[in-house]
Each structure stands twice: as structure tokens, then as C-alpha cells.
Structure 1
């Protein structure tokens, strides 16, 4: 089962502070979405509303056509895993798994057992005694094994070391292919996990500034490589995000969709055109005054 998400004019206030400003977007079921934003951009606030942890101040949210807040039928179809605060630290790992099995009707105990062995998680230990990496591994195990139609990871894998994180990305993709559902990942590790995203949403200061297919977003930029003088002349008038030099060769990352005419000129001048990283585009789109170049 896949569930769609529809958000209209969503607003969230904490007292006099507005954390989310009139967000509107639609997410089809059965895709992997990336939610990006700088610290304090409102990512966790948005995700907590989608997971029924809190109610919005204004606007509407519909999951599968129904409002999620205090809706038990929808809440059990959504799994929200955060880096911290998603389980009782005094519980043993085996008790956390029992609780998870009672929360999500699609819980896959065999899958959970396989993940526990993979991450070498001790069933009898209390969560409080686990290392940060093991707590993260437990969190991603709960999220994946929940098999919830909407599974949300809010930086839940930050505590894992690099090999474990990459193992998680591979596991998520394999599970997504075998049992399609909606994954929504909030992350700062854009370079690592960005290849998973089918669509990207970017929040900036509580506002949705972009929601696009990942490949469409990548097409907004290009890396231009060639002799220094040729590259410098070619990028005149283009928005430059960054540059690198190696001997007499230079590579410049530019923002802005290149027309067929510009691409032909680049090839005619012997310049190479390559893709731009999602992280470079994100940094450019969320850059504030006073940020370093």
C-alpha cells in the first residue's frame, strides 16, 4: 500500500515565532523524497506534523486523504524515526522491538531479526547503554522493519560510521524495490544519500523554496572543465558556484540551465560539461548574506 501526502497553506507557530510559513506541496506515494534545509529551517517541525506528533497552527495536511493528527488509522501507517528521542532509553532492545511490533501493523519481525544481526545489536542491553552508532542502527532497524507505507528518517543515521551508513542506504534501496512505499529522508549528508532521492524539497527559514525531481534540479547546473583561459571566457555572465584549478586546467561549477546553443559552443571550444553536485546546488539556493564564498 502506498499513501499520498497533500499539504496546503501549512503554518506552524511556537508562540510568536512562525516556524513554517504557508507550505503547500503534494507527494505521490511510492517514492523516495529528500527534505533538505539548513539548521533551523523547519524540517523537523514539518516532519513532526506529518507524523502526527503535533498539530499545525493553520492550513491542512492529508495523508491518504485523511487528516493525520489524532487519527489512529493513519498514525499506524506512518513511522517517524529521529536521531534521538524516539524510544525509551531505559528499555531493553528486545522490549523496544515488542513495542514497535504493536505500533505498526505491517511490522516484519523476520526482517528486523536480520537487521539486528547485521548491525550486531544486543537484544538484552538497555538502550541507554548503547553507543550512539548502535542507537542509530536500532533506529534504522525500526524504520525499515516497520514496513510503514510512509517511513520518515529525520537524520536518524547520523551516529553511524561511514560503512554502516552506506550499508543502510543500500538496504533502504533494496527494501524499497522489493516492497514499494514512501520514504522521506531529512539529511545534511547530501553527497552521501542524494543519489537515492527521486524528488527533493528544500526548506529555507520555514518556507518551501523548491520541490522538484532530482534530475530536473541537477540540470540547473553544470561543471565546465578545460584550459583556464577558455573556461574563464566561457563562464562570463554565468552564475559561478565554485571553481578548482589543477595545473593549466580549471573546472568551474555554474548555476543556470545551459541552452543547446551554449552546450554546442562549449564542445566547439573543447570544454567538457559534467553534472553538478546536489550539495553545491543546495548551498547556492540557501546561501545567506554574509556567508563565505
Structure 2
């Protein structure tokens, strides 16, 4: 599946939730869609899923607009942090409905996940705890086998072991049958190693899109005296600088080897920290 985002804008009154963003997502891949609250992530996912229309610009999936396009939306499964299912339905009814909608539905996987998360098929959605409802969302998202599967903070209420199990099963399913998975989360450190590509939004604008391996290899923190660091980072793209008592730490795009040759202390920058620095900046990268 190929997703083309072209000058996409979404306005709510005078507020721009998305501001003229353009990028391409292509092929089976696990994407991390990151940003602070209000960055526009959920709005983008709603437009991609065909739930709402853009104000300007467009999203094309294999050349087609997803809005009001049932044939195409059968290929997309969006699981949000809550309110995914009608409150009066039983779990077994939810699974039956989704099995009719998604052509690639995996009933065996759904049943295994129901057992894994100890869910009662006869329980109504309105009686579920937040964690149990999240477990049902995870079950539906994975069992849908939708070519584009989107998880928007899908684990609210799940404890750490349950989240870890979700990540393991998601990766196993992806390796067995690759698909495009778009994962939006604030628990970045937990899942960043799963991401093959990262997108970071800030206030409706795209500030970064890059392969995760490139980010890990080429985003570094260098430390030394102010003079040493300023000399080294001259001409380089600087993400952030901090000074204290004559010393400086700079977060830059560069290589560990180059910084070490210059005699500076150097370490990698976790993707979570990179997201924080980029979304604090007044201007995007």
C-alpha cells in the first residue's frame, strides 16, 4: 500500500490541526507517528481512515481517496485509545461484526488474544475496565490483518507485562505477514526499537521523517567545553544546545566516530528525547 499525503490541511474554525503537510508512506513497514498532544496525529489518522474530510489537500491510498470509499476502508483498521466499540454490544458481537467487515480477518488469532487477555466473550463493552477495553481493541486491530493497521495509544489501562505481550505479538504477526502499521504513542522508549521509520509532528506541521536506523546512527549528543563544542558543531544541523558552568552539550545530526576523533564525549540520542527536542523548537527541523 502506498499513502501519498499532499498539502494536507485540516481546520476547526480558526485552528489548524494540520497545516499543509506532505509526505509518502510506502510498503509494509512499522511507522512511529510521534508528537505532543495537539500535534495533529489523531486528526491525520482520522482523515487517513476515511472518517473525516480534509479542509485542503488530500490523502491518496494507492491513488484513491479513502473518504466514503468502503472498498478502500476495508483495508484500513484504526484502533484509538477508547470509544472504539458500541457500549451495549458484547465482545462476541464485536468480533463477529469486524469479521464480516475485514476480508483478511483471522478468527484463530482473535480467539487466542481473547484467551491471552482473559476476556469474557459474553461481557458487554460498557462493563469492561479501561485495560480490558484496550485489550479488545488490540485484539481487533491485530486480527483484522488490515493492510493498513493504525494504533493510536491503544494500550491505555494495560499494565507493563500486558503491553509487552502486545508488542511481541504485533511483531510476530508483522514478520509472518507484513503490513503497514502506523503506531502513535507517548511511551516511545517502550516501542522505539520496533519502528522502521519515524514521523514527528509539531503543531500540525511535519518536522521530521526519517528511517529509524539512520536516526539512531546519526543523531548524537556531544559534550565538552563551550569552545570545543561550538567549534565542532559549526556548519552542522543542531537540534538543541545546553550550557552549564563553561560546559556545553549539543544534540546534532552527525556521527559518533567524527565526534570522538574531535575529542568530545559522545552518546546516542534516544528517539523519545529527539521528539522532545524537536517539538520544543520554535522552528521545525
Is TM-score (shorter-chain normalized) higher than 0.5?
yes
Q: Does 1:142 align with 2:144?
A: no
Equivalents in 1 of 2:79, 2:259: separation in Å?
45
Preserved CA contact (<8 Å) 2:256 2:267: no
Alignment of 1:5-20 (within 5 A): 5-20=3-18
- Which of 48, 55, 73 in structure 2 is aligned with 1:57? 55
SS at match of 1:236: helix
Alignment of 1:39-54 (within 5 A): 39-54=37-52
Equivalents in 1 of 2:272, 2:172: separation in Å?
24
Q: 1:17-74 deviations in whole A, cap 9, x for unaligned?
A: 2211111110012000010011111100000000001011111111122111111110
Equivalents in 1 of 2:228, 2:97: separation in Å?
57
Counterpart for residue 269 of structure 2 = 276
- Which of 285, 288, 291 in structure 1 is aligned with 2:278? 285
Equivalents in 2 of 1:252, 1:234: separation in Å?
11
Instruction: Rate the CA distance shift 1:235–1:179 in 2: closer, same or farther, 3 A.
Output: farther
Q: 1:208-254 deviations in whole A, cap 9, x for unaligned?
A: 111111122233432558xxxxx4468632566679xxxxxx99673
Aligned residues: 273
Preserved CA contact (<8 Å) 2:229 2:249: no
Q: Does 1:113 align with 2:107?
A: no
Q: 1:74-105 deviations in whole A, cap 9, x for unaligned?
A: 01000000011111111111011011111111
Counterpart for residue 94 of structure 1 = 92
Moved more, 32-41 or 254-263: 254-263
Q: CA deviation at 1:159?
A: 2.0
Equivalents in 2 of 1:160, 1:255: separation in Å?
35
Equivalents in 2 of 1:51, 1:7: separation in Å?
13
Q: Does 1:265 align with 2:262?
A: yes
Equivalents in 2 of 1:188, 1:235: separation in Å?
35
Equivalents in 2 of 1:72, 1:108: separation in Å?
20
Equivalents in 1 of 2:166, 2:248: separation in Å?
33
Equivalents in 2 of 1:77, 1:258: separation in Å?
40
Counterpart for residue 247 of structure 1 = none
- Which of 76, 79, 82 in structure 2 is aligned with 1:84? 82
Instruction: Rate the CA distance shift 1:255–1:70 in 2: closer, same or farther, 3 A.
Output: same
Equivalents in 2 of 1:207, 1:223: separation in Å?
25
Superposed CA RMSD in Å reads 2.3
Equivalents in 1 of 2:116, 2:227: separation in Å?
51
Equivalents in 1 of 2:70, 2:94: separation in Å?
20
Equivalents in 2 of 1:159, 1:241: separation in Å?
36
- Which of 180, 183, 186 in structure 2 is aligned with 1:185? 183
Equivalents in 2 of 1:198, 1:242: separation in Å?
29
Equivalents in 1 of 2:203, 2:228: separation in Å?
31
Preserved CA contact (<8 Å) 1:221 1:253: no
Preserved CA contact (<8 Å) 2:222 2:259: no
Equivalents in 2 of 1:233, 1:30: separation in Å?
44
Equivalents in 2 of 1:189, 1:60: separation in Å?
30
Equivalents in 2 of 1:181, 1:287: separation in Å?
32
SS at match of 1:140: helix
